[in-house]
Amino acid sequence: MMVVFFSITFIFFGFFGFMVDYLKLVRKTFSKTKTELINRCAFILLFFYLIEFVVEGGIPLLSKLLNQTGVHYLEFGIPILHGILISFNSFLIVHTFSTYLSTKDKKLLKLYFLLYIPALLFLSRSILMLGLLSSIFIYIHYSNNLKFKNQIKLLFLCTGALYLFGVLGNLRSGGDYIYDQSMANEDFMESSIPKEFYWTYLYVASPLANFQNTVDKTSDVDKDFVGFIFYENLPQIISKNLGGPFNIVQRDLKRLIPWLTVGTTYAKSISYLGWLGPYLLFIFNLSIYLVILLLLVPKNSSYHITTLSILSVIILLNIFSNMLVVTGISFQLAYCVIFAFFENKKIVIKS
């Protein structure tokens, strides 16, 4: 059944991709966003981060490096505000890079790297990976043709990003914990391959394994359309805060190992509706992609390429989990829509 499902979804994605390209619905639109606007947004973002560091009274990275008791990275940040800051940080990184490639303003390149620093300080791999992956898609889109040397650069950049992902993973989990708990074999541990790449292998292999395990261990499902819509189609900032008060039960996938939590974008939907869940979720997600890209952020907008790169990353990362409900992802798209809507409008205050 999994082979049939993935075959159908891949064919549909390929078809819609062909149609978008054939109808010229996507084009290389250069960002005309003023540097001043980006600077102001960055200043506001960093100001609120500063408030968080003051309130928390510590920096998770320093606590880890100095082996001191302090605020844990999982507990860092002011509730709700922190989720908004993370999503806006990721969005601003992507659009800053897009505008830099359009204008070649080196001040924007410096700001682009500066926007990664908060993520390092509170050990947020999501900001780092989303920013780097989106930047790669933007670079590819702006390149007329990828020369061999540029392909080599991209290869090194991707390799470096995956290595950094592993470094931060080890730092967050405390060294060899992940290798011991997942029982990494001795051949790998004694090989010359940097152990940090084990995180990438684990994150790619475990979602498919959990999806298959959920399928195997789910038979007759008591269908719950309300739970499916609430938890699989709405942003987590809504479902996490309102699920309890409304007594909407959250279901989960069947994990092979308790701490391997992801199961592709479709596994949890199996728990709500059986195989109907993944197909409905696929249709919903595809509809959202097309509406945002074709209607809400038009191809003549300065935010067109930014939106396209974020959507590309969402589709890529759907191998892990349902990325559209993750606040840091869905709010990025919301910022694209909002900024695109207001970019050519003047606000006039009448007396």
pLDDT in tens, 226-241: 999 999 988 887 888 7
Q: Does residue 188 share a domain with residue 279?
A: no
CA 60, chain centre distance (Å): 22
CB atoms within 10 A of CB 225: 12
- Is 156 inside any structural domain? yes
- At 281 the pLDDT is 93
- At 53 the pLDDT is 84
- At 302 the pLDDT is 92
pLDDT digits (tens, 9 = 90+) for 66-120: 776 666 666 777 877 888 898 899 999 999 999 999 999 999 999 999 999 988 8
| CA–CA gap between residue 2 and residue 91 (Å, rounded) | 33
- Is 349 inside any structural domain? no
Q: What is the mean pLDDT of residues 51-75?
A: 75
- At 125 the pLDDT is 76
More confident residue, 187 or 275: 275
Q: Does residue 160 share a domain with residue 120?
A: no
The domain in which residue 86 lies consists of: 32-142
- Is 37 inside any structural domain? yes
Burial group, residue 33, by CB count within 10 angstroms (0-12, 13-18, 19+) = buried
- Is 89 inside any structural domain? yes
- At 270 the pLDDT is 92
Q: Does residue 138 share a domain with residue 38?
A: yes
* Mean pLDDT, the chain, integer: 84
- Is 242 inside any structural domain? yes
- At 351 the pLDDT is 44
Is-contact 95 343, C-beta < 8 A?
A: no
| CA neighbor of 175 nearest in space, from 198, 203, 206, 202 | 198
- At 41 the pLDDT is 94
**3-state secondary structure labels for all residues of the chain:** CHHHHHHHHHHHHHHHHHHHHHCCCCCCCCCCCCHHHHHHHHHHHHHHHHHHHHHHCCCHHHHHHCCCCCCCCCCCCCCCHHHHHHHHHHHHHHHHHHHHHHHCCHHHHHHHHHCCHHHHHCCCHHHHHHHHHHHHHHHHHHCCCCCHHHHHHHHHHHHHHHHHHHHHHHHHHCCCHHHHHCCCCHHHHCCCCCHHHHHHHHHHHHHHHHHHHHHHCCCCCCCCHHHHHHHHHCCHHHHHHHCCCCCCCCCCCCCCCCCCCCCCCCHHHHHHHCCHHHHHHHHHHHHHHHHHHHHHCCCCCCCHHHHHHHHHHHHHHCCCCCHHHCHHHHHHHHHHHHHHHHCCCCCCCCC
For residue 35, give both structure tokens.
Answer: 């540097």
pLDDT digits (tens, 9 = 90+) for 181-210: 666 777 777 777 777 787 777 777 888 888
Number of domains composing the chain: 3
| CA–CA gap between residue 306 and residue 319 (Å, rounded) | 21
Cα within 13 Å of Cα(249), Cβ side? 8
pLDDT digits (tens, 9 = 90+) for 147-157: 777 778 778 87
Is-contact 214 254, C-beta < 8 A?
A: yes
Q: Does residue 164 share a domain with residue 129?
A: no
- At 42 the pLDDT is 95
Q: Does residue 293 share a domain with residue 199?
A: no
Report whether pLDDT(33) > 50. yes
More confident residue, 212 or 71: 212
- Is 214 inside any structural domain? no
What amino acid occupies position 350? K
- At 346 the pLDDT is 60
Is-contact 310 135, C-beta < 8 A?
A: no
- At 348 the pLDDT is 47
Which pTM value belongs to this model?
Answer: 0.82
Q: Does residue 174 share a domain with residue 276?
A: no
Q: Does residue 181 share a domain with residue 105?
A: no
Q: Does residue 232 share a domain with residue 170?
A: no
Q: Does residue 236 share a domain with residue 201?
A: no
Q: Does residue 231 share a domain with residue 164?
A: no
- Is 177 inside any structural domain? yes
Share of the chain above pLDDT 90, in %: 24
- At 347 the pLDDT is 53
| CA neighbor of 228 nearest in space, from 274, 185, 183 | 274
Report whether pLDDT(350) > 60. no
| CA–CA gap between residue 118 and residue 73 (Å, rounded) | 12
CB atoms within 10 A of CB 301: 22
Q: Does residue 93 share a domain with residue 72?
A: yes
- Is 314 inside any structural domain? yes
Q: Does residue 129 share a domain with residue 62?
A: yes
CA angle 105, 88, 60 (to 5 degrees): 105
Alpha carbon separation from 311 to 154, 185, 290 (Å, rounded): 19, 36, 10
| CA–CA gap between residue 228 and residue 232 (Å, rounded) | 5
